[in-house]
A and B are shown apart, each in its own frame.
Chain A
Amino acid sequence: MTALYATYCIIDSDGRVPEGITGLHGGVVWNLPYRGIGVVVSLLAGPVQDIVAGAVQHEAVVEQLMWTHTVLPMRFPTVFVSQEAILGMMSQRYDGFRENLGRLCHQVEFGIRVLWPVANCPAAQFRVQVPHESSGKQYMRERYRQYQCRQVLSEQADQFGRKLDAVLSEFVTAKRLRKTGAGAFAFDGVYLVDWDKGAAFRRAFAEARSCEPDFEYLLSGPWPPYSFVAG
């Protein structure tokens, strides 16, 4: 059978990676060097059938390497049929990889999502409630009311987001904030944080959280910098 190569991440080294890391299908992970950097790969026994389990395994490999190297995580799944094809890709993207590795050295990613308080949940407020025998005018009035509610919630989300972001921004290198509007989240953002500032970032988050305890907060990380790989 033709060999398949699963790729996990680009790293800032052309040397060996720590032993004992296993990838998809239990394959041994190794570093394929290219001009001072490398791409971490493993042999694959066949097509990836279980996408969820595969994604988790992929992430596990990248996470183990992020503590010993600067990593650029590959999107899962990225599989090649030959080492020549991988090296061809490395050749084409080399300059971009170098730039990213320099920029993301010692950086990790944190994700923050904030849910609206249950009593203020947009999904409950904006449910379409059209009477069975509604006239067109009633329908339009109801839609206009919903539009107004969305506007109010969107403004509240912006206000809340600005406050939270102002507290966190002191400790971050970069950020990506998604406009939440009147959606399920009051806030949705990812932050790039220097390793050394991770603890301070968490403390700032805990403090901000305690000021607005009615919301539900989801803090995840530290992650490899998935959201900050450019190009």
Chain B
Amino acid sequence: MDSAVATEKDVTLLEVLDRVLDKGVVVAGDLVISVADVDLIYVGLRVLLSSVETMERLRGSPLADVWNESTL
């Protein structure tokens, strides 16, 4: 019974991930896109959608780790 419940949960989780990570409205799908004349950066799975200028300002802040990992 427990394993059946666990399997059901796993299946449900996979269905959720299949949709949430792969479908829906996409407004950033590449490393750099431009929206309303602002350059935006999409950083891997740990996504930050940000202007280039702002990312430069964030260097040195705790968010910089994400930036550095994603650009290695």
Contact = CB atoms under 8 A, between A and B. Distances in A.
A and B from one complex = yes
Interface of A: 1-2, 4, 9-10, 46-49, 51-52, 55-56, 58-59, 72-82, 85, 88-89, 91-93, 97, 111, 218, 220, 223, 226-227, 229
Given A47-B66, A93-B27, A79 B48 contact: yes
A46 B62 contact: yes
B47 A79 contact: yes
Contacts, number: 114
8 contacts: A47-B46, A52-B13, A78-B27, A78-B47, A85-B50, A88-B38, A93-B25, A229-B25
A73 B24 CA distance: 5
Nearest to A218: B11
Interface string B11-52: 111011101111111111000000111101000011111110
Contacts of B24: 9, 72-76, 226, 229
Contact of A85 (B17, B47, B49, B62): B49
Contacts of A229: 23-25
B25 to A, nearest CB: 5
Contact of B54 (A46, A81, A218): A81
Interface residues of B, number: 35
Nearest to B11: A218
B71 interface: no
Given A1-B61, A74-B27, A78-B27, A55 B50 contact: no
The 3 A-B residue pairs whose C-beta atoms are closest, nearest first, are A88-B36, A226-B23, A73-B24
Contacts of A92: 35-36
A56 B9 CA distance: 12
Contact of A55 (B17, B25, B63): B17
Name which of B25, B45, B54 has the most chain A CB atoms within 10 A of its CB: B25
Contacts of B63: 1-2, 46-47
A55 B15 contact: no
B27 to A, nearest CB: 5
A75 B13 contact: no
